[in-house]
């Protein structure tokens, strides 16, 4: 191997996550399911701009990735209800951060603490030390969990 050639170490943690749920419709489907299970028609109502074939494709993909599960609620005709798995529910925090980031860039209102009305801030926190951690103090820990 020449000095200028580089070896491919595999996908980063971010790339792996985006491979599972990285397109617009998949994230919007996950968001629509955060309030609880929905049927296909309810998802179409929640996401009126999505074509039925795209919704079907994304639901199947998210089920293969174990982000959601489907369960029949009718056998004739076969009809399914969709709900998030634990992995799917874990995406809620990431979706809130992404939505807040987008909201701040479009002049929208920030997320606020319901009790006092103060805008909330997302920060990394070390539960062992009991302190907020800066980006400079964070490491992925191993080559297999690289962030970027």
Q: Where in the sequence is the domain holding 39, given as residue range(s)? A: 13-109
How many distinct structural domains can be found in the chain? 1
Q: Is the pLDDT of residue 138 over 70?
A: yes
Average pLDDT, the chain: 88
Question: With DSSP H G I counted as helix, E B as strand and the rest as coil, what are the percentages for the chain, rounded to 5?
Answer: 45, 15, 40
> Is residue 103 in some structural domain?
yes
What's this model's pTM, rounded to 2 decimal places?
0.76
Q: What pLDDT is stored for residue 42 in this prediction?
A: 97
Among 124, 130, 122, 120, residue whose Cα is nearest residue 147: 124
> Is residue 28 in some structural domain?
yes
Q: What pLDDT is stored for residue 146 in this prediction?
A: 46
> Is residue 3 in some structural domain?
no
> Is residue 122 in some structural domain?
no
Q: Is the pLDDT of residue 31 over 60?
A: yes
Measured CA distances, 47 to 13, 31, 44, 95, 105 (Å): 28, 10, 5, 16, 23
> Is residue 114 in some structural domain?
no
Query: Quick one: pLDDT band at residue 32, thresholds 50, 70, 90?
Result: very high
Q: Can you name the residues that pair with 112 across neighbouring β-strands?
A: 119
Q: Is the pLDDT of residue 147 over 70?
A: no
CATH code of the domain covering residue 48 = 1.10.10.10
Q: Is the pLDDT of residue 16 over 90?
A: no
Helix axis angle for 24-33 and 86-105, nearest 10°, is 110
Q: Would you state the structure tokens that stand for residue 74, as one six-digit string?
A: 């009718």
């Amino acid at each position: 191997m020449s000095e200028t050639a580089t070896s491919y170490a595999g996908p980063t943690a971010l790339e792996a996550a985006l491979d599972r749920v990285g397109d617009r419709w998949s994230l919007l489907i996950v968001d629509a399911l955060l309030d609880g299970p929905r049927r296909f028609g309810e998802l179409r109502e929640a996401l009126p701009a999505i074509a039925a074939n795209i919704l079907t494709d994304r639901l199947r993909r998210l089920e293969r990735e174990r982000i959601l599960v489907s369960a029949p609620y009718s056998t004739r005709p076969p009809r399914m209800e969709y709900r998030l798995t634990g992995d799917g529910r874990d995406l809620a925090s990431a979706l809130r951060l992404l939505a807040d980031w987008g909201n701040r860039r479009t002049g929208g209102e920030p997320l606020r603490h319901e009790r006092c009305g103060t805008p909330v801030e997302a920060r990394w926190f070390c539960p062992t030390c009991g302190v907020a951690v800066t980006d400079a103090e964070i490491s992925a820990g191993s080559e297999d969990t690289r962030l970027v």
